[in-house]
Structure 1
């Protein structure tokens, strides 16, 4: 009996060993697969970090590939068994930069929250390959370009939120493929065209469940929340979507009997035609022809630019010098001083000097800027907000960081004269000044400009996609800046000199028209602890430019030199 048991055990030992070996290999295979997947996730997340150019709150400071484990990084959530990244939550982080296409490699990602940041550029097409993604929130950023049709591949997504950006183009009909879509927010963008949908039959959330056609948003039977307001959409509202609240369609250009408040016809005309020049890598009939002729055009434009530079420098210097010699010093308001700088200085301010200029209330700016939560930039002296006014236009609101107790009569004099100076600027290549806000309760001093949703020239030169900046487009921007400077230096009396012109002070519209911001580098009004003599000396120079004619000439020359440096792509 004992010998029989021993023989049986000896016979089964190889089989048991093979089973254990197979199990061990299986475990090793799973571990290797998980490690490989995590390595790919780390690579994708590091690519995202490299695309971020500003991280003021150091949100991504612990993102390092030293240990190869992304699950401990801030904003990253992993699944328990496999260790794959399933959620990326970086809302309200003030991140400034691009969305890296490599995020499309996070194959197990279920949630992507990048809302309320300062992200610009286009939405990567690779995002559409995330088959497990359920939530895609890119709202309240500075994204531009079209909505990629590839997003129709997000088969599991239930929430898509792109509101409050600068997206252009048509709404892709491929969004109708998203059968699990519950919430779609596209409001407060610059979308045009019609809403893709079928008007052949009525629709409600409870109907059309078995439909498989994808000719628009009507087949999205689970769509309970949708918002298309404040765009430039035209045509008729699909009958299949009229179960939605009327506010979901207001602020557009629909030609529909459906009673919805729309934009004025004049704004619709300018808003729709203004998008024709936008090119984001799309195919155009003459694109190939333009590429073939590019060297000839480049040579001609370089010659023209050189000639323009010489004429511009000579004209600017001669005109500025002549205006300062022939005209007396322009003093908008007066100040008296004693023989000694140490004596008290009295500044006289005319309370009616701003009466004829456009004034905006703090309350309407607060509503436009979503309770001043939509911050798009800041310096130690200012905070810049993005907002949408009640009548439609998007604005940039520059708020001075000042306390009432530290605000002196010298500061008030500088502010009021700055408003007057900005109000006289009117040129297509100069950021348009829309108004000011001056209130005492609560204490507020703000400047309001038109909003350029395509970011700054610095962002495009150093972090943008190279394909967007052809030589023809670079020449267009260079000539536009030159035309703006010529206007400031030669056509205005007295001339308006910008003390610091760089790529951060040049903003770009959707069709890549440059807008020089005249208030970018000259808003500083003196800190609370700064010596009064220094403040007054600087205010005297800023408010009375022609009293220092040689300085104005130097500043004009510096602006021209800065313009030349910009042409070199610095």
Structure 2
């Protein structure tokens, strides 16, 4: 079957005019035809009948052109096809943590727009094509944990690319604090600068991040956005499919035995002075350190009775199944990014939101609980914290404020989540605060579509993800005024509650407080708020917006009375559909409310705004620094 599919794709490449799928889609289908293993069905929605590939899982587009392919951690098995080199607009190719074999195609040298190439943790072999060294836009090259052979390509010595090759590059002397030791030039996938001392790692990482490019969000121009028929759910952060537990899985072999043997044979024998130094100084010191560590471990083990059920009960149980796909960050890194946590955006009863800036200029939002010690942090709080990370990390949508990482430290106590930062405030502020920029009808409709697509995606997940408190203050706007839904119910339990060491009913704690039908209802209220500019509860008469709007919704002739007086250039047919959808969403009988998929389809038919046009424009490299920041914690 796979051979027949590959043959069909080959025919399509020759007779492209006979099908509606564009050339980028055909190239991706050729890649798919060479994927023999797909345990998560990551490529199941790659359909030959689609007009373009922008809605396919892992594919991200801008203006209908494929700019990112992210299939990280999908455990795909097969070979990399040369046709991937035909994706002329590709800026990021992320295929790490899979089981691809064979060599890197020479055709990858034709990806002139490529900025990020991440092929780590596969079983690739052979040599690295020299054409990769000539790529003009390449900023980040990640190739560790493969089986490459041969010496470093000459272009690695002539360019700074070897400084950006992650665990696999050699370090230049200036990054090693003046060390004079030479690192073997022979290429080995086992080589890793992570094994250097902490100070060296910190210096290397900081220098790398200062040099790395990071594209800011690009505002949408006034030109009309090209309508594509396909959604694009990924955000470039983490895979939407939950990662399977990797405990017990063996890592890919770090190098062939014969390669290591040859390397060892080429190394000169140490001088007698060095041998003497080793036996007189290094060995005794190492032995003393080992004994001290052993004593501390034994002492810590004996003190286990004083730790209480917190360590061995719920926390230990959750630790086994905790999310591994989200970077765990150090407090020091976040402290530096947030200027000692002095840059406060907003304060809630149970948490504080800080604004941070990474060294590359990328802005982040850091949400921290107000609990200051483990005494104030109950078992239930810890369960909710970890469960929230699990849930939010699965959403992974361009119109959601996606999770970038988390911080979990006990001394000093810290529970934080790191999110994308949307710089243009909330939808509530733009609708009701005069100091914020006014949104015209087209901008509001784009916001509506972004919210609808995101909610549809959340409700389509297995298990379903429901937003707990959907309202305009939870909708943030990006630089180009695209909507991003935020979950502000992160730390919902009151702070200062005494620690509970007894078991509680975990099943009850996992019961949802909201349902898809309640999200649909809230979306209907949002529609009324967006088109009317009226607050959910009017400040003048205290009347809920639905009670005020219901009479106008019953009569088509009076629906124009719902419109915000400041809005102009409103199309009657669009207004009618919005009102019809809003009326259906707030139906008293929740079983008769439409699904978010039905809502999105109805609105798209009249607005003509596809998912990619409702999404913000983001660089595929915005998350690269977070991955490096998490190295120390891993």
Using structure 1 for the length normalisation, give the TM-score: 0.38
Q: Which has the higher contact order (CA 8 A, sep 6+)?
A: 2
Rg larger for: 1
